[in-house]
Structure 1
């Protein structure tokens, strides 16, 4: 069922739905911060990078090009 939820959120996000953007932010912000910290090894830089990603995603309307289920972006294993 979560895949359907993510698919719906993506559909709404592609339409510019602000609530869908907020849902993506709330759902994935922490995970992206952890992932960025794992790579960058700097808490502030990781947070700035993730925040910058979300700002660009919204302001540059990059969400119109999303063509996959969000959760699949995070299907990886940490070493």
Structure 2
């Protein structure tokens, strides 16, 4: 009967490669505490340190046939834990940056969406009031606003004087300002 507690690491690795569960158990018992302390010192989180160590030993068992040691077993295990810690920290950093980015997007898109909804509602109300203007005034105002025609071009198209066109535009703006205040004027200006 082999006494695994007295075997050197190299002998334990040889037995491990042969699928010897007792050799694996001895390696686990020999190094799990030290590896956990090392992981905990870096991570400052018991659960994460535990996971790193257990994951390492799970991989050690499943990939035991491919195990190639370029150093002592202890050096290999410490390096493996270190690599897992680095991976975990970089993953947490990426996840954290993603969450910050996502929160920024949520915060700003909600404000932007709210702004667009309000602007669309205001635009719809203004359109409704424009459609309620007297027909000639509405035609002049829409040509001025939608077609971006000058007063002279509108006068020519509708066979009116420039002064009448100007009066219709000013009266339309006065009516809209009376209903919506300065916002209507600003919306009117922003669309030109």
1:66 maps onto 2:68 in alignment: yes
Quickly say closer, same or farther: Cα 1:39–1:63, change in 2 above 3 A: farther
TM-score (norm 2): 0.33
CA distance in 2, matches of 1:29, 1:63: 21
Q: Output one character per residue of 1:3-36: Cα deviation in whole Å (capped at 9) or x when no partner.
A: x711111111111111110000000000010010
Looking at both structures, which has the greater relative contact order when contacts are Cα pairs under 8 Å and sequence separation is at least 6?
1
CA distance in 2, matches of 1:15, 1:33: 26
Paired residue secondary structure (2:37) = helix
- Is the CA contact (8 Å cut-off) linking 1:10 and 1:69 kept in structure 2? no
Displacement over 6 Å in runs of 4+ = none
Unaligned runs of 5+ in 2: 1-6, 79-192
Given candidates 50, 55, 61, the residue that maps to 1:47 is 50
TM-score (norm 1): 0.74
Quickly say closer, same or farther: Cα 1:12–1:62, change in 2 above 3 A: closer
Count of paired positions: 70
CA distance in 2, matches of 1:65, 1:44: 27
User: Based on CA coordinates, which of the two structures has the bigger radius of gyration?
Assistant: 2
1:56 maps onto 2:59 in alignment: yes
Q: Output one character per residue of 1:59-79: Cα deviation in whole Å (capped at 9) or x when no partner.
A: x324531324213445xxxxx
* Superposition RMSD in Å: 1.9
